[in-house]
Structure 1
Amino acid sequence: MRFGVNYTPSNGWFHSWLNPDWQSVDRDLKQIAELGMDHVRIFPVWPYLQPNRTWINRKGIEDVRRMVHIAGEHGLDAYVDVFQGHLSSFDFLPSWLVTWHTGNMFTDPDAVAAECELIRVLGGELSQESAFRGITVGNEVNQLSDRPHPTKMVATADQTGAWLDGTLAAAKSAGGEALYSVNDGVWFLDDHPFTPVQSGTKGDMTTIHAWVFNGTAQGYGATSEECAAYALYLAELAKAFADDPARPVWLQEVGAPENVLDVADTPEFCRRTVLNALDCPNLWGITWWCSHDVAAAMSDFPEFEHALGLFDEHGELKPIGRMFGELAGEYRNHAAPEPRSTAVVVDVDETGNPVSRSACGPGGSVCDLWMRAHCAGQRPTIVTSDVAKDPARLAALGVTTLIRDEHPHPARYYTAVSDSSFEDLDGE
């Protein structure tokens, strides 16, 4: 079992790529390694690497490699995202895709070709580092394609599928894992152009980002078992859409947001969330968001973004950091749990995707059924209605009991934004 962090530089946040303080980076990564982590996820900023569609900042590429090298010096594996894309309520899109040059990163052929070239150049440089383990194409770029984004780049599921095929192939050329990440709109927004089947079949692993500010904490209660089990629920939901029953699920982002949790409750939330997540048989690893708090001097962040770190902005370990480090030490050699014999059924259409994704969201009928079964100690998993009709596939999964949604209803609690100041501007 792998334990790691999403690395947020303590000095300058991700803007530090403009003028890296390598002593600070070295100190940060040393702290992360000493906490007992085995990997970091690194976020170069897209416009800093590719400010023009046909000009790549080679110094920026070298800087990413240097960070990966430093991570390796401290015994950390490094996974690198390419398109940021979206980070902590800010979008980072190059000027050749916005305003007077408005384009679509998913469908414009010239834009896609440029993106694939950046992935190949970055991957080629990183492949020379022994600590490099893989590329995630982008951080939650799916949210740039749909509501509630105020300037979404519209695409169909076929178009996003083609985009993923092209960018993942470019990422695979680097020789490591080729992945992509999504926010929960994939699972809970009806008609969203990125789909659960894509997440379950494209790339080398399924990645999930489990944030309880999405209505889970607000609806079920911040200290409830449902809230602490949300990451496990999302992992089991993601498993349902994989062709390969053994496909790994990476809990790539999970954190303790203080807009819905009291600060005193965050270490216990961390403990319960991790212990629940470890009961997913397919879990590859847990990567906490994030390493270091955003400095108080940084403006215009939602307030809770300043307090998500395991370390504060001065490098002092916080109680939640101590808890996560202890869990990593105790459960790194965690044995795979037994298969789950009870399954909630999700009705799917001819594409294999949910008939109602909103029923899977917090307070939706599928989520409610799973949460009730979990709280009753039944250890539920999730299967699609196609699998539920196939005795051989059920037997292969070890499922003997099915729970069906007799009274479907959409999510009562789900909110697609993390901060109440960001509303659905187009009313969709």
Structure 2
Amino acid sequence: MDHIRVQLLWPVFQPDPSVISPTALEHLRELLDLADHPDVSLDVSVCVLDGWLSGFSFLPAWLTGRNMITDPDVVRAQLLLLDALAEHVGDHRRFLGFDLGNELSVPNPDVPAEQGDQWASLLLAHCERIAPGRFHVNGVDNQPWFEARTFTPAATATYGNASVLHAYPYWTGAIKRYGPEGTGVLHLGEYMAELAEAFSPVRGRPKWLQEFGASPVERPADSIPQWATTFARNTLSSAGLWGCTWWGSHDIDRRFSGFVEYEYDLGLLTVDNDVKPTGARLRDLIEELRRTPVQPVTRHVALVLPDSRELGLEVADHFFALVDQGVRPALVTADKADDLAYLSDRGITRLTYVR
């Protein structure tokens, strides 16, 4: 591994709209110092407004009754937190950049996507001002891509330095729809990466498979290492993949009894830091890919997306059907289907439509 993504508990870092914890800031700096140790050498993406993770909402008490995206006073508090973080760790050579927050569609399901887009644009532009040249993103789950929930696909593929993908067969419903070894499970990350490419105004914009993982709840534990390898390879077949990040580093200690069963065994390491079989397999895959990287697939056939906000598994069915026929398709938005220069630039020679 060459990077990690760390989750800040928002109430700990900002217990009051106008107060940033100096202790929490110092702990973060210490973590980056540890990541800079010669035996470690990990870049660190700092995910800030958490927010939502591992099945819980860790939101500040002062946010009660207010919306984190649409309330101007809350947004001012968020900018204050980002400023403090940038001042404290923005110059650290292991600081990769800011992630606005983890899967913010989940705690903000009713925010109109246009307002969510404006918020993301504002905060990501602020991140660039206070920490220029770093790698700033919005850590969305699949809902903005599949349903335009809270954020639109177009904005998610435009703002920040990369398009973020959280591609879980379990949480998207793919494993229930296609079965553990189905094409729609093995190629889900590839489909989402091609969605991001279709909506990007810039060809080859970086795409980050920021979360993928599997639990024994959804498939036999001994099948996870091979699934992880196949899934990563398939996703990397899409051009412009910046990186892949497994969720998460460690299993959750079972002395913590409040998590849903799915969350406990997602780690590459046990709670005692022993490397699990999936961790060992991914370690070997990383070494292999550094010697011989996956070459992106040339995609001459493109599936034209319907002019709809619903781009989930019902649309993905058509993508996976083409894969089953031996075709690795691209995706094209409906407004680009008649743009011959655009299609030519992407190497697309044939279009097929969702019927």
Please indicate, yes or no, whether the TM-score normalized by the shorter chain is above 0.5.
yes
1:116–1:166 contact (8 Å) kept in structure 2: no
Is structure 2 residue 163 aligned with structure 1 residue 206?
yes
Is structure 2 residue 337 aligned with structure 1 residue 388?
yes
Indicate which of 112, 115, 118 corresponds to 2:81. 118
How far does the alpha carbon of each residue in 1:4-50 deviate from its partner, in whole angstroms, 9 at most, with x for none?
A: xxxxxxxxxxxxxxxxxxxxxxxxxxxxxxxxx11111111110000
State the alpha-carbon separation in 2 of the partners of residues 95 and 179 from structure 1.
Answer: 26
Q: CA deviation at 1:71?
A: 0.8
How far does the alpha carbon of each residue in 1:403-423 deviate from its partner, in whole angstroms, 9 at most, with x for none?
A: 1011xxxxxxxxxxxxxxxxx
1:343–1:403 contact (8 Å) kept in structure 2: yes
Is structure 2 residue 299 aligned with structure 1 residue 340?
yes
| Residue in 2 that maps onto 1:7 | none
Is structure 2 residue 217 aligned with structure 1 residue 259?
yes
Normalising by the residue count of structure 1, what TM-score does the alignment of the two structures yield?
Answer: 0.79
Indicate which of 77, 91, 108 corresponds to 1:145. 108
1:47–1:92 contact (8 Å) kept in structure 2: yes
How far does the alpha carbon of each residue in 1:28-75 deviate from its partner, in whole angstroms, 9 at most, with x for none?
A: xxxxxxxxx111111111100001011110110111111112112121
Contiguous gaps of at least 5 residues in structure 2 = none
The aligned runs of 1:327-366 (5 Å cut-off) are: 327-333=285-291, 334=293, 336-348=295-307, 355-357=308-310, 360-362=311-313, 364=314, 366=315
| Residue in 2 that maps onto 1:85 | 51
Percent identical residues: 34
Contiguous gaps of at least 5 residues in structure 1 = 1-36, 147-153, 349-354, 407-428
| Residue in 1 that maps onto 2:149 | 192
How far does the alpha carbon of each residue in 1:173-193 deviate from its partner, in whole angstroms, 9 at most, with x for none?
A: 21211211111111222x623
| Residue in 1 that maps onto 2:283 | 325
State the alpha-carbon separation in 2 of the partners of residues 309 and 257 from structure 1.
Answer: 9
| Residue in 1 that maps onto 2:263 | 305
| Residue in 2 that maps onto 1:352 | none
State the alpha-carbon separation in 1 of the partners of residues 324 and 242 from structure 2.
Answer: 24
Is structure 2 residue 185 aligned with structure 1 residue 236?
no
Amino acid at match of 2:145: W
How far does the alpha carbon of each residue in 1:348-405 deviate from its partner, in whole angstroms, 9 at most, with x for none?
A: 3xxxxxx141xx222x0x2111001112221111110111110110000001111101
Q: CA deviation at 1:258?
A: 2.3
* Greater RCO (CA < 8 Å, at least 6 residues apart): 1
State the alpha-carbon separation in 2 of the partners of residues 259 and 310 from structure 1.
Answer: 16
2:208–2:241 contact (8 Å) kept in structure 1: yes
Normalising by the residue count of structure 2, what TM-score does the alignment of the two structures yield?
Answer: 0.95
State the alpha-carbon separation in 2 of the partners of residues 179 and 390 from structure 1.
Answer: 29
| Residue in 1 that maps onto 2:124 | 168
| Residue in 2 that maps onto 1:417 | none
Q: CA deviation at 1:144?
A: 1.6
Indicate which of 230, 247, 253 corresponds to 2:205. 247
1:226–1:375 contact (8 Å) kept in structure 2: no
| Residue in 1 that maps onto 2:66 | 103
**RMSD of the TM alignment (CA)?**
1.3
Q: CA deviation at 1:304?
A: 1.8
1:186–1:194 contact (8 Å) kept in structure 2: yes
Is structure 2 residue 244 aligned with structure 1 residue 293?
no
The aligned runs of 1:68-79 (5 Å cut-off) are: 68-73=32-37, 74-79=40-45
How far does the alpha carbon of each residue in 1:290-331 deviate from its partner, in whole angstroms, 9 at most, with x for none?
A: 111000111111112110001111111111111111111111
State the alpha-carbon separation in 2 of the partners of residues 295 and 86 from structure 1.
Answer: 19
State the alpha-carbon separation in 2 of the partners of residues 170 and 72 from structure 1.
Answer: 26
State the alpha-carbon separation in 2 of the partners of residues 104 and 356 from structure 1.
Answer: 24
Count how many residue pairs are aligned between Structure 1 and Structure 2: 349
State the alpha-carbon separation in 1 of the partners of residues 326 and 242 from structure 2.
Answer: 23
How far does the alpha carbon of each residue in 1:163-217 deviate from its partner, in whole angstroms, 9 at most, with x for none?
A: 112211222121211211111111222x623110111111111011001112101
1:72–1:78 contact (8 Å) kept in structure 2: no
